[in-house]
Amino acid sequence: MLIQILIHVVLGLLVLIGMYFFYQDYKKKKAVERHFEAQRQALFTPLKALDIDEHKLLRPEVNEVTGQAYFFVFDTESFDVIRQEEEESLPSPLVALSWQILDAQHKLIEECSYIIKQEGTLSAEAQNIHLISPKEIAEGEDENSVLELFFQALEPCSVLVAHNVDYHLRSIEYACQRQGMSSEGLKKKKFLCTMQKGLELNFKHSWDGRRLYPALDELFGYLYFSRPKISIRYRKKTLRDIRLVSACLRKLPQELG
């Protein structure tokens, strides 16, 4: 009798083990399918690149009738090229700072963008990424003055929005430290990170099924065209980024954005 019970127990365990490995194999297969489906979708891009100054989804149009300032969409660009794995380290001096002020219905109230003067030579790689020349850096705006304008514009807003908002906040705080300014105004606001919201949408995965943070253009492409690979034409990366973030903010599901 005892032997029969043991046999049944062992058989039950074997069935459970078999089911477990079957489920793991099924998960891997589905992950691979999602990976290749994303690759397939990436092939189908618009025939024409979207221009941030011309396309209706991206061009800045200040509305004559708006509500009160609510969202503060901003972007920083750094003197040094910061790799993703280096973003937790000490930030680099600012070479560009841009922002948009939107009302609660995402209508544009104001857009500002500044190239900031810094000492030193901007690397060729940084020039290619930011599309900012050494001459523009040398003739840029005073960092202290731009930061003062930044905090004045931020004051009436309730929510700070950026793609990888923690990194951009650290960049502002570091710039304030360099200028001997207070950054306390940042702590009074709520924060919304479009990169984190993109992760929650669960559309980008590694080969083994892990969720990945989407790049800003991937999030925009997914939200508006159901595909992550979209060609975007622009003349300054900092303007591209605030306009893409604002566009994503308008399209994010209400429960996320």
In this structure, the answer to whether residues 32 and 123 fall within a common structural domain is: no
94 is a domain residue? yes
Q: Does the pLDDT at position 153 exceed 70?
A: yes
Pairing of strands 232-233, 50-51: parallel
In this structure, the answer to whether residues 67 and 192 fall within a common structural domain is: yes
111 is a domain residue? yes
**According to the model, what pLDDT value does residue 71 have?**
96
The residue assigned the tokens 């209508």 is 107
In this structure, the answer to whether residues 93 and 32 fall within a common structural domain is: no
Q: Does the pLDDT at position 52 exceed 70?
A: yes
Beta bridge partners of 113: 98
147 is a domain residue? yes
In this structure, the answer to whether residues 233 and 196 fall within a common structural domain is: yes
CA-to-CA separations, 128 to 43, 64, 77, 123, 163, in angstroms, rounded: 25, 36, 12, 9, 20
CA-to-CA separations, 127 to 62, 115, 229, 235, in angstroms, rounded: 30, 12, 23, 12
188 is a domain residue? yes
**181-196 confidence digits (pLDDT tens):** 999 999 999 999 999 9
Closest CA to 73 of 50, 97, 45: 97
In this structure, the answer to whether residues 90 and 112 fall within a common structural domain is: yes
**160-214 confidence digits (pLDDT tens):** 999 999 999 999 999 999 999 999 999 999 999 999 999 999 999 988 889 999 9
Q: Where are the alpha helices (DSSP H) in the chain?
A: 2-42, 124-130, 134-138, 143-154, 165-179, 184-187, 194-201, 216-225, 237-251
32 is a domain residue? yes
In this structure, the answer to whether residues 18 and 130 fall within a common structural domain is: no
In this structure, the answer to whether residues 122 and 218 fall within a common structural domain is: yes
Helix (H) or strand (E) holding 163: none
CA distance 43 to 37: 10
CA distance 25 to 187: 46
Q: What is the dihedral of CA 255, 218, 245, 127, to 10 degrees?
A: 160
Tokens of 218: 């991937």
In this structure, the answer to whether residues 5 and 55 fall within a common structural domain is: no
CA distance 185 to 170: 13
* Average pLDDT value for the chain: 85
Q: Does the pLDDT at position 72 exceed 80?
A: yes
In this structure, the answer to whether residues 16 and 84 fall within a common structural domain is: no
Would you place residue 67 in the very low, low, confident or very high pLDDT band (cuts 50, 70, 90)? Answer: confident
Looking at residue 68, its amino acid is: Q
In this structure, the answer to whether residues 58 and 95 fall within a common structural domain is: yes
Residue 148, domain extent: 50-251
Our count of domains for the chain comes to: 2
In this structure, the answer to whether residues 91 and 176 fall within a common structural domain is: yes
Q: Within 10 A of 178 (CB to CB), how many other CB atoms are there?
A: 14
96 is a domain residue? yes
The angle that helices 165-179 and 143-154 make with each other, rounded to 10 degrees, is: 130
11 is a domain residue? yes
Q: Are 133 and 96 within 8 A, CB to CB?
A: no
Angle, vertex CA 30, rays to CA 28 and CA 33, nearest 5: 110
Beta bridge partners of 159: 71, 190
Q: What percent of the chain has pLDDT over 70?
A: 80
256 is a domain residue? no
Q: CATH number for the domain including 190?
A: 3.30.420.10
In this structure, the answer to whether residues 15 and 116 fall within a common structural domain is: no
